[in-house]
Structure 1
Amino acid sequence: MKKLCIGTFLLVLTIFQAQTNRFFYDYKFVPNINDKADVKTEMMVLDIDAKGSSYFSHATFVADSIQKADIEKQLQMSPGNINIKRNEKPGQITFKVTKSYPEFKTFLYRKVAGDQYKIAEDSKPEWKISSEKQKIGDYNTQKATTSFGGREWIAWFTQEIPFQDGPYKFYGLPGLIVKLEDVSGTHIMTLAGNKKIIAASEEKELNMPSEVRVFGMGGKEIEVTEDQFRKVWKAYVNDPTKNMREMMSKNTENSRVVFKTKTADGREISDPNQVFREMEKNAKESFKKNNNPIEPDLQK
């Protein structure tokens, strides 16, 4: 009877340790600083467990999971013929941030031109805690400020939730950050709810054949410093289609890559030169419209 009780206790303890605290943040942001009336919204997730935390877009996570499952199914059925289906609502935010406890080692994951970068954060938020307090939702919060990533930030944290963490790269306050906003009011993250979930098994890498490459999926992340990433970003802005042209030039007689895209008026084009011109045009238009990144220092 004693052994049975111990076994039951260990089982309950294992289940408890496998739980993740999931916090939902309503992220409102202005992509174009010249058009502050155009406010976008994305539901972000902060998952916290004993090992650390992960902050990501819920919609992007779901869309990527569906696409990955579809690609894996196609690879099993016909490895030489893959049709990439784009989700109509893939999510607007593609970055992810992870922090490992207890040292809070922080990484930002960004996709650029199909490559995935793992960017090590080399600094931490230095907070000034104010005596100012206010009630936000169900929580009593206190104000703190910091200068980080090229912006001035205001955080409202609560000691009622005992996690010294928060959205994006922010942490280190004596409680969870309930609301975070930059002083321009163009990036605001507000806690919208939370629940406990059973931790999912570690995500498996997409096992792609050597001759097949799907931009932004499969393969390992390229770990870089912030300075190295800035150089990558500058090169991408100067030549947005370089990676795709290089991919096309590596074709062999036994492999063929077909690029297709649609113009603004809905015409489908497949001629590689036209495709690249259209993609470069779209990328440069996007740079102009998305000129208010959450961390300006990374895209100088």
Structure 2
Amino acid sequence: MKNYILLFLFFTISAHAQINRFFYEYKFIPDSNNKTDVKNEMMYLDINKNGSNYYSRDKYVSDSTNLVEMNKQIRSFSGSINVNRKEKPGTVSFKVTKTYPDFTTYLFRNISSDRYKIKEDQKPEWKILPEKQKIGEYNAQKATTSFGGREWVAWFSTDIPFQDGPYKFYGLPGLIVKIEDTTGSHIMTLVGNKTLPESAEEKELELPQNIRVFGVGGKELEVTEDQFRKAWKAYVNDPTKNMREMMMGNTDNNKITFKVKTQDGKEISDPNQAFREMEKRMKESLAKNNNPIEPDLVK
């Protein structure tokens, strides 16, 4: 999805209840020690009369496909449920919502099987600069802000009459068509758009009752940023805690079993050994994802 044709050059939120979907190419470097490994993900910014949602296309498609498959297995339950991700799962798991007109902003992030709803208590404070340039098809103007532990450079266009943008960014006199941090680690660029009927809006995924899958759904906990930081630190120190609690807390007749393969292909079925292997992998993954979009949130 590199070359998008801008399908609509005029944007309205009318009584006909439309969704204005903007496509952003999100390039980011997860590991600050390996700057050649640049990830690329397509993000949606869906705007309607009530607010906006910013989320990964790949993750939504993958979760939707897997939820349909899980529901099929539950309806014909035979003692086990196999979650096999057939679609590209997506690298970006967070979602950001904003509610108009006050731009109340929430970040949704998963930790293990739990989902956190984190209210943003600060708004971006912009310095609008006179510099202008063309970004794609749009005339854009430069603005800067310090937010989340990074310095950001944004380009906004008054050609698009929304004071919104990707992630938690908003408040400029036009849509943000490009924004990047000054290290070049996170870059979000508008590459296309289209309008949709409101009925086409992506709905929040819900798992069947009593089913928990890591990274999909899960109980939602509304917390402050400080509470999230505390939960994140606990997870970093013990990333398999929730998995162990799920295993120990299972009182149903159907015993939960799982198998793990080591990097050399050896299969591990002993629970204690499997947890040790999973903990090792998860800590290695955390170490390689040391360059988050918002460092202040996980410090």
Q: CA deviation at 1:220?
A: 3.7
Q: Secondary structure at the match of 1:75?
A: helix
Q: CA deviation at 1:82?
A: 1.6
Matched, 1:179 2:163: no
Query: For the pair shown, which has the larger CA radius of gyration, 1 or 2?
Result: 1
CA contact (8 A) 1:208 1:218 kept: no
Q: Against the structure 1 CA distance between its residues 188 and 265, is the aligned structure 2 distance closer, same or farther, given a 3 Å change threshold?
A: same
Residues in 2 aligned to 1:197 and 1:268: alpha-carbon distance in whole angstroms: 47
| 1:277 alignment partner in structure 2 | 276
Q: CA deviation at 1:215?
A: 2.4
Q: Against the structure 1 CA distance between its residues 15 and 256, is the aligned structure 2 distance closer, same or farther, given a 3 Å change threshold?
A: farther
Residues in 2 aligned to 1:58 and 1:247: alpha-carbon distance in whole angstroms: 29
Aligned-residue sequence identity (percent) comes to: 65
| 2:237 alignment partner in structure 1 | 238
| Aligned-pair Cα RMSD in Å | 1.8
| 1:42 alignment partner in structure 2 | 41
Q: CA deviation at 1:267?
A: 2.7
1:54-133 pair list within 5 angstroms: 54-78=53-77, 80-87=79-86, 89-133=88-132
Residues in 1 aligned to 2:283 and 2:97: alpha-carbon distance in whole angstroms: 29
| 1:289 alignment partner in structure 2 | 288
Task: Give, as a single letter, the amino acid of the residue that structure 2 aligns with 1:272.
Answer: P
Q: CA deviation at 1:114?
A: 1.3
Q: Secondary structure at the match of 1:92?
A: coil
Q: Against the structure 1 CA distance between its residues 197 and 268, is the aligned structure 2 distance closer, same or farther, given a 3 Å change threshold?
A: farther
Residues in 2 aligned to 1:250 and 1:113: alpha-carbon distance in whole angstroms: 16
Q: CA deviation at 1:180?
A: 0.3
Instruction: Give unpaired runs (5+ residues) of structure 1.
Output: 1-13
Task: Give, as a single letter, the amino acid of the residue that structure 1 aligns with 2:44.
Answer: V
Q: CA deviation at 1:248?
A: 1.0
| 1:155 alignment partner in structure 2 | 154
Instruction: Give unpaired runs (5+ residues) of structure 2.
Output: 1-12
| 1:18 alignment partner in structure 2 | 17
Q: CA deviation at 1:202?
A: 6.8
Q: CA deviation at 1:195?
A: 0.5
> Is 256-265 or 118-127 further displaced after alignment?
256-265
Q: Secondary structure at the match of 1:229?
A: helix
CA contact (8 A) 2:94 2:110 kept: yes
CA contact (8 A) 1:72 1:206 kept: no
Please report the TM-score for the alignment, with normalisation by the length of structure 1. 0.91
> Is 79-88 or 221-230 further displaced after alignment?
79-88
Residues in 1 aligned to 2:26 and 2:217: alpha-carbon distance in whole angstroms: 28
| 1:203 alignment partner in structure 2 | 203
Q: CA deviation at 1:89?
A: 1.8
Q: CA deviation at 1:69?
A: 1.0
Q: Secondary structure at the match of 2:171?
A: coil
Task: Give, as a single letter, the amino acid of the residue that structure 1 aligns with 2:102.
Answer: E
Deviation track 1:210-235 (CA, whole Å, cap 9, x = no partner) reads 3x432233444111110000000000
CA contact (8 A) 2:149 2:296 kept: yes
Q: CA deviation at 1:162?
A: 0.2
Q: Secondary structure at the match of 2:234?
A: helix
Q: CA deviation at 1:271?
A: 1.6
Q: CA deviation at 1:113?
A: 1.0
Q: Secondary structure at the match of 2:251?
A: coil
> Is 126-135 or 268-277 further displaced after alignment?
268-277
Q: Secondary structure at the match of 2:292?
A: coil
Large movers: runs of 4+ above 6 Å:
none
Structure with the larger helix share: 1
Q: Against the structure 1 CA distance between its residues 36 and 216, is the aligned structure 2 distance closer, same or farther, given a 3 Å change threshold?
A: closer
Residues in 2 aligned to 1:32 and 1:205: alpha-carbon distance in whole angstroms: 30
> Is 82-91 or 107-116 further displaced after alignment?
82-91
| 2:189 alignment partner in structure 1 | 190
CA contact (8 A) 2:179 2:187 kept: yes
Q: CA deviation at 1:207?
A: 4.8
